[in-house]
Chains A and B, each alone.
Chain A
Amino acid sequence: MLYEIIDTGGSRSFPASHPFLDKAEGSGDVVVIIGENAARSLQSLARPEMKTAVLIELGTQCLGVHTGERRGLEGSNVLGFARFRLGAADPTPLVEIVRQPNTAEAAIAGAREIFEAAGLQVAVCGDFDGRILDRLVRPYFNAALRRLDEGLATADDLDTTLRLGLGYPEGPLSLLERTGLDHHSEVTQALFEALGDPAYAPARRARVARIRSKA
């Protein structure tokens, strides 16, 4: 399936060259809008309904912010997407595709096809704050930081236990240290505000890192 990319600059999903960018054409059945100003490009897109799918890169916001919502009946050929990425680390192979209740199945199939053709892996989810992974990992990261403060174990023992006991490639504390505690603080703060669940409230160490990054 042919697709074109409209790059509005500063994409977190595709910050560097990638086969997905290389395979794009000048025009196609699918339009992919990436970057920080994707919303503006979506609004100025001529006849988007004629495309199989229009994909817009999301940050922490929901797709409904761009499309509008209507009594749980919303859905069209416009999908949201983001590659999962922790802080300063490279984006992972995972692309979360966001759909709405009445999103066209052909649009989802088209989106899946073009990402998978570029070697990426796709997980489709509903239009929820935090999508799949941020919703799952942020409470886990906050709990690890909090339990370190409370002396459950040393940072090394916490990380070793989760690596050896569960087969995780890296313990949570080492992972956060490597990718940026301040970024975790920013993402989990946004989710805390959206969901109101204390599990998402940034842990003390994350808040400290955030304050220091701003100083």
Chain B
Amino acid sequence: MAEIKTVGVAGSGTMGAGIAIVAARAGFRTIVFDTRAEALERARKQTEGFFAKSVERGKLTVSQVGGIMAGLSGTTDIAALSACDIVIEAVFEDLGVKHALCAELDKVCPPHTMFASNTSTLSITEIAAGSGRDDRFVGMHFCLPAQLMKLVEMSPGLKTSEDTFRSAWGLCEAMGQIPVKTKDNPGFILNYFLIPFNNDAIRLVEAGVAAPAEIDRAVKAGLGYPMGPLELLDLIGLDTHLLVAEALYAATHEPRNAVPALVKRMIAAGQLGRKTGQGFYAYRGNAMFGG
């Protein structure tokens, strides 16, 4: 089983930055690549802010954070990832974008470097097919926010070697995460169950079964869930839900994954959720109305 010392992360958005924190915090030399210097800078500031909070809460010392940050670097030069034993991609959820990235990575990385994808909806086998090394390719889906959530959905593609899967699984555990194994199926486990559940909740609103606050209260009181589905959708943003659900529906053609018409009407009306101040609830500052 290949020993992993250096972890690359391609893409420094919210997920990429979170994954980099997880790797660096566990003591791996971590290199974050992004084509946009400003995105790297923003991620660096978010990372420093996150670790400052860790110190405040007594989870890490200043000197430990110093060590972690010394092992974490950012680059706009993809060739810098040649030093990595594994590169985890967390770029835009588009097969073409991921193929283009993987083809570039395949040129600059040595043969032993494994590639992993943080995709939540695309097929690992299909992404791997454009990587030039489909036997050394694995799915590693972290949950948002990666630096706080322990779960990682690990999926082998059809051609992933056992050694690659074992190495990536070992890395996951070494980073303090909790891996679960799932088949390379659209949505893996989390999104496969979450997206239709949320769509069904939207359909209840659409059909006039109950108001959003009644549905959320029922789910929390009856099932003990920490958030109701409509509160959660407002937090995620209906535009984001639309993207993920449409990708899942395109891959499965299962009716429950089809986005209810109400979502598109709300998006057209600018009611995206918390970020626009109106979704299934109205928001003013941190206050929520309609609940």
Contact = CB atoms under 8 A, between A and B. Distances in A.
Contacts of A133: 218-219, 222-223
Contacts of A199: 255-256
Contacts of B150: 164
A165 B207 contact: no
A152 interface: yes
Given A139-B196, A153-B189, A199-B256, A125 B182 contact: no
Interface in A132-184: 132-133, 135-137, 139-140, 143-144, 147, 151-154, 157-158, 160-162, 164-170, 172
Nearest to A95: B221
Contacts of B289: none
A123 B210 contact: yes
B290 interface: no
A124 B210 contact: yes
B210 A162 contact: no
Given A126-B208, A153-B180, A166-B225, A121 B151 contact: no
Interface size bracket, B side: 35 or more
Contact of A167 (B196, B217, B226, B255): B226
Chain A interface extent, by class: 35 or more
Given A126-B209, A153-B183, A162-B189, A143 B196 contact: yes
Interface string A111-139: 00000000001111110100111011101
Given A162-B189, A199-B256, A157 B214 contact: no
B222 A84 contact: yes
Given A139-B196, A152-B189, A161 B218 contact: no
Nearest to B194: A166
Contacts of A121: 217, 221
A168 B225 contact: yes
B280 to A, nearest CB: 14
Contact of B193 (A92, A143, A157): A143
Contacts of A128: 207, 209
B204 interface: yes
Contacts of B178: 160, 164
B20 interface: no
B235 interface: no
A113 to B, nearest CB: 16
B197 interface: yes
B136 to A, nearest CB: 23
B210 A158 contact: no
A170 B222 CA distance: 13
Nearest to B226: A167
A169 to B, nearest CB: 4
A147 B149 CA distance: 24
Contact of A132 (B149, B185, B210): B210
Nearest to B201: A136
B72 interface: no
A152 B201 contact: no
Contact of A166 (B190, B210, B221, B256): B190
A94 interface: yes
B218 A144 contact: no
Nearest to B214: A123
A157 B223 CA distance: 20
B134 interface: no
Nearest to A136: B200
A114 to B, nearest CB: 17
B218 A132 contact: yes
B148 to A, nearest CB: 11
Nearest to A158: B189
B43 interface: no
B218 A123 contact: yes
Contacts of A152: 182-183, 185, 189, 192
B192 A147 contact: yes
A96 interface: yes
A132 B194 CA distance: 17
Interface of B: 143, 149-151, 153, 178, 180-183, 185, 189-190, 192-194, 196-197, 200-201, 204, 207-211, 214-215, 217-219, 221-227, 229, 255-256
